[in-house]
Amino acid sequence: MLRVLEEGVAQGAGAVKKAVVAITGASGVIYGIRTARALKERGFDVDVVVSFEAEKVSIYECGESLFEMLKGFRVYRENEIEAPPSSSSYLAKTLGVVVSPCSTKTLALIAHGIAQDLISRAALAALRIKKRLVLVIRETPLGEIELENALKVARAGGIILPASPGFYNNPKDLRDAINFVVGKTLDALGVENDLYRRWEGVRTDRGLCERL
């Protein structure tokens, strides 16, 4: 069942800024939560799809219900395959689909064209109509099978974005590291953002190693 959580979702007749964010059970659910929030902060109408495993992982990693942290969004569970994000006609009016974090299982489903749940259905529909599909892969190390699956998706038009924070921006804390990945995700979607310090040549205000 569709859940529009307490704070409500802005509905505008002329609104065209839409996106879909899916959160799987890979470790790092905060990436998906932060991505959804960052898009909303920039005026996007965001649909969120969550897997059953993501619901469990959020309790373990964040100490809070995933639905509690997604107040204000339309939230669907992975088995709600009749939901709007499953349809290419709906996705045609969106910027695209982000799966963050993307489990290797979900990567495999997409790579092999298996629309098993709402997340894989939305991702495959996005590829069919040439919408942006960004898969934020957190798993490491990656074996030959996972790399081949990632290559298949990339060749089909998807963007494989490893959840690998950079250090040239001199991150001060975990929030900076998370924002780096989220900022790169928004970059891949074509959404302007200032979530991380971009490379502007060699700087002297370093100090990360000194703080370790």
Max alpha carbon distance in the chain (Å)? 54
Give the per-residue pLDDT at 54: 98
User: Which is nearest to 105 in space by CA: 22, 189, 19?
Assistant: 22
Consecutive H or E run containing 94: none
Give the per-residue pLDDT at 212: 64
Domain spans, the chain = 16-189
Euclidean distance between CA atoms 152 and 136, whole angstroms: 15
Per-residue pLDDT of the chain (212 residues; tens, 9 = 90+): 455 444 444 443 343 499 999 999 999 999 999 999 999 999 999 999 999 999 999 999 999 999 999 999 999 999 999 999 999 999 999 999 999 999 999 999 999 999 999 999 999 999 999 999 999 999 999 999 999 999 999 999 999 999 999 998 889 999 999 999 999 999 999 999 999 999 877 766 666 666 66
209: which residues sit within 8 A by CB, 6+ positions away?
A: none
Give the per-residue pLDDT at 12: 38
Give the per-residue pLDDT at 7: 40
- The CATH class that applies to domain 16-189 reads alpha beta
Give the per-residue pLDDT at 209: 63
Give the per-residue pLDDT at 6: 41
Euclidean distance between CA atoms 147 and 67, whole angstroms: 32
For helices 29-41 and 174-189, the axis angle rounded to 10 degrees is: 60
